[in-house]
Structure 1
């Protein structure tokens, strides 16, 4: 279950991630006027996900209730009943997490103009910096990869890594914070083991930066 409220910059990183997926093939053609439009497109995408999350949460709560009823009326033995009860709890936990995520985003994006502005501005800053400093950022990622190339990474993993490196290098975000935020993004958007891969690469990036410093 989520144990903390998502902060404006956490939402901004997610918007930046969704915005990066919309970049033109040649990012150098991106103009300053287009950046807000990219972020606006990301907001629309995220709103669609929130709607889906609410619908999925409703389905999962229904599944949880069905499991509980089944465990009470159809269980052949105690062990089967325990298994069904465990599944029901998992359904409920997933539903609660979806609802918590949705409420956190709605609170941050709609509660005050100030918070919404902070989210929007930081997302644009991230996209702008990643676009203008891509070569430097990719070089830092590349040094942490073993027998692999940045361009061969899955786009979502590559963009999550770029956001974290930009946070560290250009916005004075502590490495530990940037890594944790990247891992959370990977859990939502990357493959099954993506968050472990992201964590490992960024730890190497951090270690190498400390050695050079």
Structure 2
């Protein structure tokens, strides 16, 4: 269920990024379905890129092992090579941990258990595009002097999704904020993550109306 929730939000975030962010916009169900399919393709392509990068890292690590075996006893560089290998393998481990969840995406989409992921994504997108003015206005009130439009697009959409969770989908505030932080950790930069965290803390103490 946790993976389903994060997958829904991640696909919603990618889908929103495919929609022009210029005030109110209206889309019909067919258009939203097309955007969902494009978002799914983007996510799959991202996974393929990650696999390719992982394969390159493994090849580089293997070559370093071979080189170090050939040079061992000739010089004392093996300890340096070993440290480089540790760094490479740690990176690979991180990528593989991500992919272990990612590789379940097709299964989750086909048999999504307690929620229908496609319908969930479509619902989130519809809530946002049909209520954009009030959503942005309410988030602005929680931004302590800042304006939502000054944030990068990805950060705006993460906050919009959190708002929809809290105000339209009756998601517990702690869960909505946790999921938003997870998206920020994956898609935003350091400054964006800090700012999103600050806004989310204010959302936890004062539920937006």
Same fold (TM over 0.5): yes
1:43 partnered with 2:40:
yes
Higher-Rg structure is 2
- Kindly provide the CA deviation profile for residues 12-42 of structure 1, in whole angstroms up to 9, marking residues without a partner as x: 1111111111224454332233221221121
Partner of 1:144: 142
Partner secondary structure for residue 28 of structure 1: coil
Partner of 1:32: 29
Extract unaligned runs of 5+ from structure 1.
Answer: none
> Matched residues in 2 for 1:191 and 1:197: separation?
10
Partner secondary structure for residue 76 of structure 1: coil
4+ residue segments displaced more than 6 Å: none
TM-score (norm 2): 0.83
| Counterparts in 2 of 1:116 and 1:76: CA distance versus 1, 3 Å | farther
1:21 partnered with 2:27:
no
Partner secondary structure for residue 7 of structure 1: helix
Q: Give the stretch that moved more between structures: 10-19 or 159-168.
A: 10-19
Count of aligned residue pairs for this structure pair: 205
1:57 partnered with 2:57:
no
> Do the aligned residues in 2 keep the contact of 1:15 with 1:43 (CA within 8 Å)?
yes
Partner of 2:94: 94
Deviation at 1:71, TM superposition (A): 6.1
- Kindly provide the CA deviation profile for residues 112-159 of structure 1, in whole angstroms up to 9, marking residues without a partner as x: 3x5597110000010011112222222332122233211111000000
Q: Give the stretch that moved more between structures: 183-192 or 115-124.
A: 115-124
| Counterparts in 2 of 1:93 and 1:197: CA distance versus 1, 3 Å | farther
Partner of 2:127: 129
Aligned-residue Cα RMSD (Å) equals 2.8
Deviation at 1:95, TM superposition (A): 3.0
TM-score (norm 1): 0.81
With CA pairs under 8 Å and 6+ residues apart, which has the higher RCO, 1 or 2?
2
